[in-house]
Amino acid sequence: MTVDSPNTPPPHNALHILARKNVLAGLMFIAIAALGLWVSRDYPVGTALRMGTGYVPRLLCWTLMGLGAAVLIQGLREKDAPPERVTLGQLLPVVVVTASLIAFALAIEQLGFVLSVLLLVGIGAAAARDIKAWETLAAAVVLVALCWAIFILGLGLTIPVWPVW
């Protein structure tokens, strides 16, 4: 017969372990990476000097899987914390940033590159609380310049820069 002392921690069950943020985040990263590897399974990989269309996606998926494993292990090693309640206000930034990405994807062919990036940053700025208008504008201008240099000049993608009306 054993007597549990008041200092004995309660036994862990699988649901308490799965409820930890880092465990869930690690599992999500691993699942997304596995999905990406499965989707790109038929893409030619090539070599490091002569990359195929599947080289970079697979490299990123393996990197994401490694990151997910590291986060998962960290989550499994941490002590149980009391569960936090998630309010609707805490989810608003995630919804706003997702909406800005969707707006960018839908607008890039019609509005062109520059206006779509400005739309992306403008909608995404609504997720921040204490951001000033000039900071948003500066971030948008820098992002337009960097993306233009990388994707249009550097990679030679044929993305419309301005809207065609």
Residue-level pLDDT at 66 = 97
| Position 83 pLDDT exceeds 80 | no
What average pLDDT does range 104-114 have in this prediction? 93
Residue-level pLDDT at 81 = 65
User: Is the whole model's pTM more than 0.85, yes or no?
Assistant: no
What average pLDDT does range 80-101 have in this prediction? 82
Report how far apart, in Å, the C-alpha atoms of 66 and of each of 30, 75, 121, 126, 139 are.
Answer: 8, 14, 30, 32, 31
Chain-centroid distance of CA 159 in Å reads: 23
Distance CA 22, CA 16 (A): 12
| Position 10 pLDDT exceeds 70 | no
Residue-level pLDDT at 113 = 93
What average pLDDT does range 36-47 have in this prediction? 90
Burial zone of 61 (CB within 10 Å; 0-12 exposed, 13-18 middle, 19+ buried)? buried
Percent of the chain with pLDDT over 90: 52
